[in-house]
Amino acid sequence: MELEAEDRVIDKVLSRIEKELGWGDSKDWSTRDFEALSNKIMDKTHVQLSVVTLKRVWGRIRYESKPTATTLDTLVQFIGFENWRSYKQSEKLSNTTPKPELIKSGAGFRDPRRYRRKKPVALLAIAGLILASGVVVFYFTSFDTAKPNVDPEKFSFSSKKVVDIGVPNTVIFDYDARAAKPSDSVFIQQSWDKRLSKLVARDHQQHTSIYYYPGFFQAKLRVNDQIVQQHDLFIKSNGWLPLVDVTPVPVYFKTRDIFTEDGSIGLPLDKILQSNIQLQPKAPWVGYYNVGDLGEIMSDDFVFETEVKNKYSEGAAACQHTEVHVLFEGAAMVIPLSIPGCVSELNFGDMSGKKLDLSPLGVDFNDWVNIKMDVQDSVVHLLINGKNAFDLKVNLHPVKFAGMIFKFQGTGSVNFVKISKHNGDVTFEESFDLKQ
């Protein structure tokens, strides 16, 4: 019975990997797809799983034995966990984790689900890179609640940026982890995403990392699974930064490349193609980042309004996936959109389009789509084209506004951005009327 339970957990890991990759049903994967997955796993974990091993795990090659411990550790490290044991523990916890309360929804939800925690938490900083479509709208984090194995007071951790503003940006981390045992593993983690972790020597004092995306991060010093020290790290963009999210590093464009004659911003297809970026068979994500000090606005009292249009619907980009990210110091709110026929692929908060009606997030991109997020008294009101889409009640600890990201699979445009307080004060407004 225990073996059957473990098989179910393995199936969940494989499903998460498939969802993150967005390559469709694994039954249709070719050998080239498994080769690409092997390379991706190597890039993120520095462990090589062969194509044969991956095909065995996915059941494409008959093999009676269970995956080895190394294989299981590597697969869960690819999706952000320390090892197989920590993933199984998270599965047990997830079965009892409460959810945010949905007060009212244009989609007709009737059963509110309340989000409770035993300890205070903060909204999690969003790393610059966000993977695939349908990202989560709220990110939460907290220190591990398990009994600590080491005393955090015996460790130190700080950093300095090589460049004050802009990306790529090398960050130099100074750390003291000599209090760790020789048998412990010490990691420096760039952000909330455990996949962005590097194993470092416990008796060394410096480590450097490159941040390729602007954003507000929480860098962490970990001993095994325990976070012993962490601090905020703000990577600013110096105004609007257009980029195309491809591996191994994004392709950056000039700000002037996105300003158009009609008073909007958008990266033209010819600019993308001139950079030898392939739009088929799978279109990459195009992002417009503006991260920095954009005014005195707090997460518990603001109105964010914008208009977007996704201009690319060719081939595998037929769903026209689009995301609007509102960033705060230690927090992120993300609104996923698609054409109406693809809302099943979206995830909004803890709500999955596979299980619930997310049709308010399905839009017609032939016209500008107006998005308005109004946050007051711990209630988030989301309106799409003037119609109430969702009302969510969350525990928002007030944190300062840190920027915004607009992302389009293929390419897209932004017509204007306006951020204000409920007293009428406008803290940031851009109509893109002038070229830069």
* Residue 378 confidence class, pLDDT cut points 50, 70, 90: confident
Q: Which residues of 215-244 are buried (b: 16+ CB within 10 A; e: fewer)?
A: bbbbbbbbbbbbbbbbeebbbbbbebbbbb
CATH of the domain at 202: 2.60.40
The answer to whether position 421 is within a domain reads: yes
Q: Are residues 83 and 161 in the same domain?
A: no
45 to each of 79, 88, 138, 172, 197, how far by Cα in Å? 10, 19, 26, 21, 9
More confident: 263 or 65: 263
* Residue 391 confidence class, pLDDT cut points 50, 70, 90: confident
13 to each of 37, 151, 168, 279, how far by Cα in Å? 14, 32, 32, 29
By percentage, how much of the chain surpasses pLDDT 70?
A: 84
- Average pLDDT value over all residues in the chain: 82
Q: Are residues 262 and 411 in the same domain?
A: yes
The answer to whether position 195 is within a domain reads: yes
pLDDT digits (tens, 9 = 90+) for 82-116: 888 888 887 765 554 444 455 544 433 333 333 33
Q: Are residues 290 and 366 in the same domain?
A: yes
By 3-state DSSP, what share of the chain in percent is helix, strand and coil, each rounded to 5? Answer: 20, 35, 45
pLDDT of residue 117: 33
Q: Are residues 322 and 184 in the same domain?
A: no
Q: How far apart are CA 364 and CA 320, in angstroms?
A: 10
Q: Does residue 363 contact residue 316 with C-beta atoms inside 8 Å?
A: no
Q: How far apart are CA 120 and CA 134, in angstroms?
A: 27
Q: Are residues 200 and 256 in the same domain?
A: no
pLDDT digits (tens, 9 = 90+) for 147-190: 457 889 999 999 999 999 999 999 999 999 999 999 999 999 99
Would you state the structure tokens that stand for residue 364, as one six-digit string? 């017609």
pLDDT of residue 20: 84
Q: Are residues 264 and 279 in the same domain?
A: yes
C-alpha dihedral sign at 417, 422, 426, 428: negative
Total structural domains in the chain? Answer: 3
Q: Are residues 64 and 182 in the same domain?
A: no
Segment 337-364 shows an average pLDDT of 89
CATH of the domain at 321: 2.60.120.200
The answer to whether position 101 is within a domain reads: no
What pTM value is reported for the model?
0.68
Q: Are residues 323 and 415 in the same domain?
A: yes
C-alpha dihedral sign at 405, 76, 22, 372: negative
pLDDT of residue 105: 45
Would you state the structure tokens that stand for residue 233, as one six-digit string? 């790290």
Residue 402 backbone zone (phi > 0: left; psi -120 to 50: alpha; other: beta)? alpha
Rounded CA Rg of the chain: 22
Q: Are residues 284 and 380 in the same domain?
A: yes
The answer to whether position 27 is within a domain reads: yes
Tell me which residue of 354, 395, 417, 405 sits closest to 129, measured CA to CA.
Answer: 405
Q: Are residues 276 and 388 in the same domain?
A: yes
Expressed as residue numbers, the domain containing 217 is 152-235
The answer to whether position 125 is within a domain reads: no
Domain endpoint, select from 166, 200, 235: 235
pLDDT of residue 328: 87
Q: Are residues 331 and 273 in the same domain?
A: yes
Q: Are residues 43 and 71 in the same domain?
A: yes
Domain endpoint, select from 235, 265, 297: 235
Single-letter amino acid code for the residue at 418: K
The answer to whether position 350 is within a domain reads: yes
Q: Which residues contact 149 (CB under 8 A, 6 or more apart)?
A: 184, 223, 224, 226
Would you state the structure tokens that stand for residue 19, as one six-digit string? 């969802």
Q: Which residues of 310-348 are buried (b: 16+ CB within 10 A; e: fewer)?
A: bbbeeeebbbbbbbbbbbbbbbbbbbbbbbeebbbbbbb
Tell me which residue of 328, 321, 342, 305 sits closest to 397, measured CA to CA.
Answer: 328
The answer to whether position 141 is within a domain reads: no
pLDDT of residue 294: 82
